[in-house]
Amino acid sequence: CNKQIEFYDWFSRVVVNWLDIARYKALQRIDKAIELDTLTPVDSSVKYSSSALDSVGIFYTVKEFWEQIEWPDVEACCAYVSKIIEWCYAINNIDYVRHSIEPLVQKLGVFKIANKLVEASDIVLGERFERTVKEMVDNANELLAAKQRDLIFNAINKMLPVIQKLLLEFEKDNSLHKLMTYLDDSLITMKEQLSSENFDRVLATIWKSVLSKMEDITESSLNQKKPHQFFKGLLETFDVFVDYFNESSDANDEFRSSLELYSLSTDELIHRYHVQQCRRGQGQSNEDINGDCGQLTICAMILKTKGLLKIEIMNCRSLKPVRSNGICNPCVKINFLPADQFLKTSKPKTQVQKNNLFPLFDETLEIVLTNDQMSMNDALIQFEVIDHYFLCINKFVAECFFLLNKVKLVDDPEEDMMNMPQIQLKLGKPSSEHDPKIWNVIEQRSLSWTDKKANEFIKRQKARMNRTNCQEA
């Protein structure tokens, strides 16, 4: 007789039914709110419209009614509160609703219920309930974030065809201006309507999409063998985009590096290849002092007042013979690169030293240079060791490079070469491995019958690099 009557049990099925009806009505009200929403901010201080406010208001109406019930059964509370939280999946203006879920959970008294379960000596059930609610909130947030991303992508996908069209037309007059104007207009509108957090998401997503489109355009343009001028314009566009979106990363740098190579003329690519070969020779380990094919020792200076380059070819060491009989009749020939900047410059060579793998030349060669040539940053002196074959084709033995701007400038026209330090250069043969990107771009161009320079260069270099002991037919 003293047992307390748990009268609330009589209403448990009614509460479950009420929750189902409330959920159905809430969804209907949210649908109606969305239908009537004009998609304009409710006031100037926020970035969400009326349907978002209505949706959260519906949830809080349910919350107030739940507080009025004051359901006494702790275990039943778990099921009922979980059911209410599930409604948060019905959303519009997602960001506002998503940030309202956790405060709503707090006001529903979830953690108070969990503590009561623990106090009632049911620790396991309390922890399980708290963990279940947390998982539901996390799942709701993840779903809302995914829907938010979908909305962002849908908006951006409407912009991408226009961006791609303008990208493809960038080489025409004012097309880049049109593209930037379009981006400005679109993004200014978005910035006015979105929160700063969402606008940053939009900006990052647009950048990724633009970068992907530029990569696609680059790939298709390479397949179509478009001229390097096209890629030069694309490179300029890419730089503008990087500044515009304020984006920098290793991936962007790598793509830009490739785009820059595509934008170079064949002459520029060939010279860049030779500069890399020069660095390769200078960067070899000290243990291999003779290089792949021996060593060349020189002295050099530029008499500034006379515009005269003086090079003393002293000797070669440890040359590798290119003939089967082991004989080598070497001489050293001097070239200047890039070749188109030294068309009228003499290319002298030493006397032939017969049957000698350690030839002693001790010859001073003089070359007149212009002021422009002397001031070039990356001009190269190329030293080619040639095996002179009487009545037959001469054979390439090895080569090395030296930067022209590294040669000492001398004001005194009477300066003696003996005062100049000796320079030891490692001899080697051409390689495609030191910077394969440059080689691959030139080789790709050589496949086009219109690019004779690339074709001749690849043919000559392969003939030199593919022979044992640096031979060349």
Reported as a single tens digit per residue, the pLDDT across 198-252 is 778 778 888 888 888 889 889 988 988 889 998 998 898 899 899 988 888 888 9
Reported as a single tens digit per residue, the pLDDT across 152-207 is 676 677 677 777 777 777 656 556 777 888 888 777 767 766 677 777 877 888 88
Q: What is the pLDDT of residue 108?
A: 55
Q: Which amino acid is at 249?
A: S
Q: What is the pLDDT of residue 41?
A: 56
Q: Taking residues 277-294, report their average pLDDT.
A: 65
Confidence of residue 104 (pLDDT cuts 50, 70, 90): low
Residue that is written with structure tokens 């200076």 in the block: 301
Q: What is the pLDDT of residue 123?
A: 65
Q: What sign for the dihedral angle of Cα 185, 188, 194, 198?
A: positive
- Cα(71)–Cα(340) distance, rounded to whole angstroms? 91
- Cα(387)–Cα(398) distance, rounded to whole angstroms? 9
Q: What is the pLDDT of residue 389?
A: 81
Do 128 and 75 form a contact (C-beta atoms < 8 A)?
no
- Cα(465)–Cα(472) distance, rounded to whole angstroms? 8
Q: What is the pLDDT of residue 293?
A: 87
- Cα(366)–Cα(38) distance, rounded to whole angstroms? 83
Does 306 or 178 have the greater pLDDT score? 306
Q: What is the pLDDT of residue 103?
A: 62
Q: Taking residues 400-421, report their average pLDDT.
A: 91
Reported as a single tens digit per residue, the pLDDT across 309-347 is 999 999 999 999 888 888 899 999 999 999 999 999 999
Q: What is the secondary structure of 68-137 as a DSSP string?
A: HH----HHHHHHHHHHHHHGGGS-SSHHHHHHHHHHHHHHTTHHHHHHHHHHTT-HHHHHHHHHHHHHHH
